[in-house]
Amino acid sequence: MTGLASQLSAAQFAGRIDRLSARSETLEAQISSASNLKSMVLSLSTSLGDRIRVGDLAPAPAMDNGAVASVSLSKSVTPSGSYSVEVTQLAQNQVLASPAVASTDTAIGAGTITLRFGQVTGAGFTEDAAQPSVDIAIGSGATLADVAAAINGSDSGVTAYVADTVNGPRLVMKGAEGAQNGFVLDVTEDAAEPGLSALAWQPGSATGTLVQASQDAALTLDGMAITSASNTLTDVVPGVKMVLTATNIGAPTTLRFSDASESISGAMEDLTAALNEIMAELNTATDPATGDLARDSGARALKNSLRTLAGTVIMGNVAEGGVRTLSDLGLGINRDGTFSLDSEQLAATLARDPEGAAAMFTTGLYGIYSTMDGISRAASSTGNPSSLAGSIARYDDQLDAVGEDQDTLAEKQEALRQRLVTRFAASDSRVSASQSTLAFLESQIAAWNSAD
């Protein structure tokens, strides 16, 4: 009876359960297809950004004489041309050494050291009013090591350490690079513990040794004189970071930029292949007869974005006639929706305007990365119901609802099965009682017949 009850209850709900199972499978396929497309677009955008940031798609700067300076791109720009560079002086920091003392344990006195900043020239000092002086308190019983610690903790831009020289321990102080970052030391002694004035220093005084004077870097760029407080120069050549490392007086060197044409050609081939992979997946998913996303708004939106990609102006900062669209770099779209690359068009653009072609490959507001990133963000926008992410969210909600309906049907089926089991059990009990009564009557009739 239990088996019959299970069969009858299953038969009662079979049609609805099958319809829900089919709907669940359809939704899962739609979620999988939409998620795969969203992931493919994101992967293309991410890989483009990574490749651009590596720098092999932009003209790389290089110095003919690499000993003079190291150079790198400091931002997403496409510099071009060549520049003559002659470094006549490197930036230096001031290095000052105090007189030697007997030992590292020698008390140096107490009071206040005042650092004043400016330009040291021979025996003269011109204070820089833009840099405030710094007072450093030196406590009772301080040694040179204590003074060094106090200077290092003053946040003055001057660092200090104790050098154990052949003549005895000396306090060595170092300022920042640049002519205006020289410094002098004024001392106010504690009358109860004199001696600190031995560390005072002015240009030309005998209380310390000026090991190295501060100075600016000096160079000529295409014959134009340039100075810098630091050996690191940014945007002297737009977009280029230059770190000076040596002088080349009388022997100018040249800063050049490598040709990125080969790398750009390879990147366009890879981009075309990646777009075709996405479009092939899209065409399969949106097939009117068999596609999981045949009527999906997110898939249609992505398809429309890709169909117009080649001819869309993605360099809004470039005047008409310049390299403004991917079609200028040879990208085209065929009648079947696939992409192709016109290598002759690409080569012609690279020959005509290599800087304009390279400008497409930056991480700024314009260009290929910005465009693909925008398409990826649109596809991933959960707040837009017409995006792939919006479709996925909608399908997820529908799948949850189907799951709840399946749970409800399962509960109803089980309730029916239990009712049938109870009903069949009652019927079986009544049949058993009837059979017992029949057997009793038969035995009585047999007994009566025997008595006759």
| pTM to 2 decimal places | 0.63
- pLDDT at 391 exceeding the cut of 70: yes
pLDDT score of 445: 61
Q: How far apart are CA 296 and CA 92, in angstroms?
A: 66
Per-residue pLDDT, 109: 95
Judged by average pLDDT, the poorest of 66-80, 409-423, 436-450 is 436-450
- Weakest mean pLDDT among 65-69, 181-185, 334-338: 334-338
**pLDDT value at 192 more than 90:** yes
Calculate what percentage of the chain has a pLDDT beyond 70: 87
Q: What is the DSSP string of 276-302?
A: HHHHHHHHHHT-TTT-TTTT-HHHHHH
Instruction: Note the pLDDT of residue 410.
Output: 72
Supply 251's token pair.
């022997």
For the cut 60, the answer to whether the pLDDT of residue 358 exceeds it is yes
Map out the domains of the chain as residue ranges. Answer: 2-55+261-394, 61-90+217-257, 93-212
Band (52; pLDDT cuts 50, 70, 90): confident
Q: What is the rounded average pLDDT for all residues in the chain?
A: 88
The per-residue b/e assignment along 171-198, b for 16 or more CB within 10 angstroms, e otherwise, is bbbbbbbbbbbbbbbebebbeebebbeb
pLDDT for 138 beyond 90: yes
Spatial strand order of the sheet with 232-234 comes to 69-73, 240-244, 232-234
- Residue 7 confidence class, pLDDT cut points 50, 70, 90: low
Cα dist from 183 to 149, 157, 218, 268, 308, whole Å? 18, 10, 21, 56, 64
Confidence class for position 107, pLDDT limits 50, 70, 90: very high
Q: Which of the pair, 14 or 187, is modelled with greater confidence?
A: 187
- pLDDT confidence of residue 443: 65
